């Protein structure tokens, strides 16, 4: 949110500065110049052949993107799923203290941090994809039988977000992206499992708790609808302009259809959805972003320069973020979205960065 400082006339402008202002202005500047920041999920935590959580190297110097391009991504994505339970490791095996350190390190290097959250289903005790608990959202809202338990979980997340500070105690700005892909029906807060009123109430509950009750001023709130079926009806599930700063699309190149169909499908539908979101973002004074994308396994040699570039061309997206490169044995040869040394699309990725006004860390310092 643009912070309107009522006392601006009486106080110095510096007194009105919020921790989030610089991030907002970096994103706005990129859009004004037709540039796009590049982000990668868990970039400093692990890569195709290494894992800082497991191998004892906590330098946070490594990055698959840096190994390929010579520079870190401008945006580092991190994830909190399971920290709401008090777990020391998140659902992907990331250590809680290392996650905090990675956020701080990336910020100190001049980068921007975004955080997603795949919380467990509080009814069934299983993960975010467990859809068997009925209308879970109704039960955790005010007046619901699980409200108290839920607020305890949110308290742990608020504690974590509030603990991301520089050594001299300054809160680090975070693009915070809860309740994402809510126009699909694969998370317990998804389309089929709660009403629009309940979804909006969930968002506002989260906002009011973090911002008003806990006083977290370092959050930039990003909402990420997804999918091809929602684009006329999605704004029903939007909590209101006072609660959102960034409107982003989550959209992947499908691996569940033959490649010759998947490629044109992705380009066509990404453009359709970005077009629609662009209009919405403009009307509501919000920043537009491509909050999650990628092609799992990068099996199309020119995916970056021919496919992604065509999908985003001419859209004023402030940033795009590709998903994680898992190091899990047995899964690491399939579940990756960014290049790594010796992997597919290394050169194509470098060409994409070079020729499409894509910004890495050194470009935003």
CB of 338 to ligand BMA, least distance (A): 12
| 120 lies in the binding site for ligand BMA (CB under 6 A) | no
Taking Cα atoms as reference points, which of 151, 153, 164, 146 lies closest to residue 81? 153
Contact between 210 and 161 (Cβ < 8 Å): yes
| 85 lies in the binding site for ligand BMA (CB under 6 A) | no
Q: Which is nearer to ligand BMA, 78 or 359 (CB)?
A: 78
Total site size for ligand BMA, rule CB under 6 A: 7
| 324 lies in the binding site for ligand BMA (CB under 6 A) | yes
When binding is defined by CB under 6 A, the residue of 43, 64, 79, 82 that contacts ligand BMA is 79
| 118 lies in the binding site for ligand BMA (CB under 6 A) | yes
Q: Sign of torsion, CA 238 246 190 270?
A: positive
Distance CA 88, CA 322 (A): 25
Residues 21-60 as x/- pattern, contact with ligand BMA by CB under 6 A: ----------------------------------------
When binding is defined by CB under 6 A, the residue of 5, 16, 85, 91 that contacts ligand BMA is 91
Contact between 158 and 216 (Cβ < 8 Å): yes
Q: Structure tokens of 344? A: 């597919």
Taking Cα atoms as reference points, which of 338, 313, 353 lies closest to residue 77? 338
CB of 91 to ligand BMA, least distance (A): 5
Residue nearest to ligand BMA (CB): 79
CB of 42 to ligand BMA, least distance (A): 8
All residues at 6 or more sequence positions from 16 whose CB lies less than 8 Å from its CB, including other chains: 3, 5, 7, 8
CB of 206 to ligand BMA, least distance (A): 18
| 92 lies in the binding site for ligand BMA (CB under 6 A) | yes
CA-based radius of gyration for the chain: 20
Residues 176-205 as x/- pattern, contact with ligand BMA by CB under 6 A: ------------------------------
Contact between 25 and 31 (Cβ < 8 Å): no
Distance CA 231, CA 319 (A): 21
Distance CA 172, CA 165 (A): 5
| 16 lies in the binding site for ligand BMA (CB under 6 A) | no
- Binding interface with ligand BMA (CB under 6 A): 79, 81, 91-92, 118, 323-324
């Amino acid at each position: 949110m643009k912070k309107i400082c009522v006392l601006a006339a009486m106080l110095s402008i510096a007194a009105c500065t919020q921790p989030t202002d610089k991030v907002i202005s970096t994103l706005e500047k990129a859009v004004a110049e037709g540039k796009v920041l590049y982000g990668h999920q868990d970039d400093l935590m692990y890569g195709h052949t290494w894992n800082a959580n497991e191998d004892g190297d906590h330098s946070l110097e490594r990055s698959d993107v840096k190994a390929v391009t010579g520079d870190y991504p401008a945006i580092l994505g991190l994830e909190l799923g399971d920290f709401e339970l008090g777990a020391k490791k998140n659902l992907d095996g990331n250590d809680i203290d290392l996650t905090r350190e990675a956020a701080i390190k990336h910020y100190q290097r001049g980068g921007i941090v975004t955080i997603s959250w795949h919380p467990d289903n509080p009814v069934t005790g299983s993960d975010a994809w467990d859809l068997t608990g009925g209308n879970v959202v109704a039960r955790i809202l005010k007046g619901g039988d699980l409200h108290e338990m839920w607020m305890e979980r949110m308290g742990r997340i608020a504690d974590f977000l509030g603990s991301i500070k520089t050594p001299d105690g300054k809160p680090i700005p975070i693009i915070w992206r809860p309740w994402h892909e809510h126009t699909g029906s694969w998370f317990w807060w998804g389309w089929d499992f709660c009403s629009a009123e309940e979804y909006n109430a969930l968002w506002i509950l989260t906002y009011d708790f973090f911002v008003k009750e806990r006083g977290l001023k370092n959050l930039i709130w990003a909402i990420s609808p997804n999918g091809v079926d929602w684009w006329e009806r999605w704004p029903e599930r939007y909590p209101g302009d006072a609660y959102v700063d960034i409107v982003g699309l989550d959209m992947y190149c499908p691996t569940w259809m033959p490649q010759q169909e998947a490629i044109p499908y992705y380009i066509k539908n990404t453009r359709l959805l970005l077009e629609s979101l662009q209009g919405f973002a403009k009307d509501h004074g919000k920043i537009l972003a491509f909050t999650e994308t990628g092609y799992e396994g990068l099996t199309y040699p020119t995916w970056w320069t021919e496919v992604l570039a065509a999908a985003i061309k001419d859209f004023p997206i402030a940033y795009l973020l590709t998903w994680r490169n898992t190091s899990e044995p047995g899964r690491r040869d399939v579940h990756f979205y960014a290049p790594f040394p010796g992997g597919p699309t290394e050169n194509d990725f470098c060409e994409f960065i070079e020729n499409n006004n894509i910004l890495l860390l050194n470009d935003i310092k």
